[in-house]
Amino acid sequence: MKRTIAIVAAAVLTVAGCGGGGAGGSGNRLSIATGGTTGVYYVYGGGLAKQLSANIANTQATASVTSASVENIKLLAGGKADIGFSQMDTAADAVNGKDTFTAKQPIKAIARIYDNYAHVVVAPGVEATKVADLKGKRVSLGPANSGTQVVARRMLEAAGLNPDTDITKQQLSINESVQAAKDGTIDAFFWVGGLPTAGITDLATSKPDMKMLDTSDVLAKMQSTYGQQYVSLDVDMSVYKLDGTVKTVGIGNVLLVPDKMSEQLAYDITKTLFEKKTELSAVHPEAKKLDVKLGQEVTPVELHPGAARYYKEKA
């Protein structure tokens, strides 16, 4: 965890002993592992922390800045976080002990919450119209231990490129990628996130001649290799105050918890998530997509029994 942002005034800045065991004499201190500060996970996680603190008795929740999906799962498994945002593909790898993960990770799902959009952003003046055109260029794949990097590598491979040799690879956060694109020190960068992502809004505002690549040509290969967890989504570029629509690869997002979390605490978290949809939507519009039916679609990750109890009550 790089640094922790207090969401409520009384929240502590260090998370000593996470609160996965349920309410005790000193209450719950919940750490929410999110992502970079200009990404949706961080904004959404801050809003969730505020609602959990206000609506679960004796609970103080904080949102922490991380590299996102892969790191978040490692934090959950290591007892250093209680709730974590993740892309579905990374979560699937985690429970199957594949690719980034050498063993099956002890995690369960609370809910599927919204879909991520793959952004392949090209700096002004750079000639590229599809992913394969990034060959020989300076490209950020996202930070190490991020879901963005997992998707970026798979997209490049689907386009016939070797991520380690066919590009000049960098591993920058969304904040760093945006600044590097402004400065002209990279030609393109990958970002996988919700709409709008604040960092890309910032770039589009200062560099309206930036562009996003249509990535629909790599989808079929990604689906044949990794399954139907990757889908086709359209980005209405008006969310970034730009013109047109861009077709890209989409992937679901899921909220995860350690499998040892108490059933009651997992139930309370799930209940708060859905019952405070209006308040969360005011923090970020992606929360408007919260839906009890969609929330249960977390395969191959298993629902935590506490979350499953909440969904059963709502059936």
Are 233 and 267 members of one domain? Answer: no
**Residue 25: is its pLDDT beyond 70?**
no
pLDDT given at position 26: 53
Interval 101-144: pLDDT, tens: 999 999 999 999 999 999 999 999 999 999 999 999 999 999 99
CATH number of the domain where residue 172 is located? 3.40.190.10
Read off the pLDDT band of 17 (50, 70, 90).
Answer: very low
Q: How many Å from the N-terminal Cα to the C-terminal Cα in the chain?
A: 37
Residue 282 pLDDT grade (very low, low, confident, very high; cuts 50, 70, 90): very high
In 82-164, where do the E strands start and end?
83-87, 107-122, 138-140
Quick one: CA dihedral 33, 37, 41, 43, positive or negative? positive
Same domain, 157 and 245: yes
Encode pLDDT of 151-173 as tens digits: 999 999 999 999 999 999 999 99
Shortest CA distance to 5 belongs to which of 39, 25, 33, 40? 33
pLDDT for 228 equals 84
* Same domain (yes/no): 100, 198: no
Task: Return the percentage of the chain with pLDDT > 70, whole number.
Answer: 92
Same domain, 63 and 95: yes
Q: Are residues 258 and 236 in the same domain?
A: no
Mean pLDDT on 202-213: 96
Sort strands 28-33 and 83-87 into parallel, antiparallel or unpaired: parallel
Q: Name the band, by pLDDT with cuts 50, 70 and 90, for residue 227.
A: confident
Helices 263-275 and 40-55 cross at an angle (nearest 10°) of 110
Q: Are residues 199 and 218 in the same domain?
A: yes
Question: DSSP states of 10-45 as a string?
Answer: T--SS--S--TT---TT-EEEEEE---TTSHHHHHH
Query: What's the Cα-to-Cα distance from 94 to each of 104, 207, 217, rounded to whole Å?
Result: 6, 37, 27
pLDDT at 20: 47
Q: Mean pLDDT over all residues of the chain?
A: 92
Mean pLDDT to the nearest integer, 7-12: 35
- 287 with 190, same domain: the answer is no
234-262 pLDDT, tens digit per residue, is 999 999 999 999 999 999 999 999 999 99
Tell whether 104 and 132 lie within a shared domain.
no
- Residues 35 and 44: their CA atoms lie apart, in Å, by 10
Q: Which pLDDT band, with edges at 50, 70 and 90, does 193 fall under? A: very high
| One domain, residues 78 and 171 | no
Per-residue pLDDT at 27: 78
Report the distance separating Cα 6 and Cα 46, nearest Å. 9
Q: Report how many domains make up the chain.
A: 2
Cβ atoms of 79 and 15 within 8 Å: the answer is no
For 32-75, how does the pLDDT look when each residue is reduced to its tens digit (9 = 90+)?
Answer: 999 999 999 999 999 999 999 999 999 999 999 999 999 999 99
Q: What angle do CA 294, 298, 302 make, to 5 degrees?
A: 135
- In the three-class reduction of DSSP (H, G, I as helix; E, B as strand; rest coil), residue 168 is classed as strand
Instruction: Please give the C-alpha separations between residue 76 and each of 183, 203, 302, in angstroms, as whole numbers.
Output: 36, 32, 15
Same domain? 215 vs 201: yes
Check whether 206 has a pLDDT greater than 50.
yes
Which of these, 264, 266, 249, lies nearest to 302 by C-alpha position? 266
Tokens of 259: 């499998």
Q: Domain boundary residue among 202, 222, 251? A: 251
Average pLDDT over residues 283-305: 97
Which of 251, 270, 304 corresponds to the end of one domain? 251
Q: Taking 60 as the threshold, does the pLDDT of residue 12 lie above it?
A: no
Instruction: Give one word for 25, left, alpha or beta, with left for phi > 0 and alpha for psi -120 to 50.
Output: alpha
Same structural domain, 131 and 220:
yes
Expressed as residue numbers, the domain containing 170 is 117-251
| 177 and 135 co-located in one domain | yes
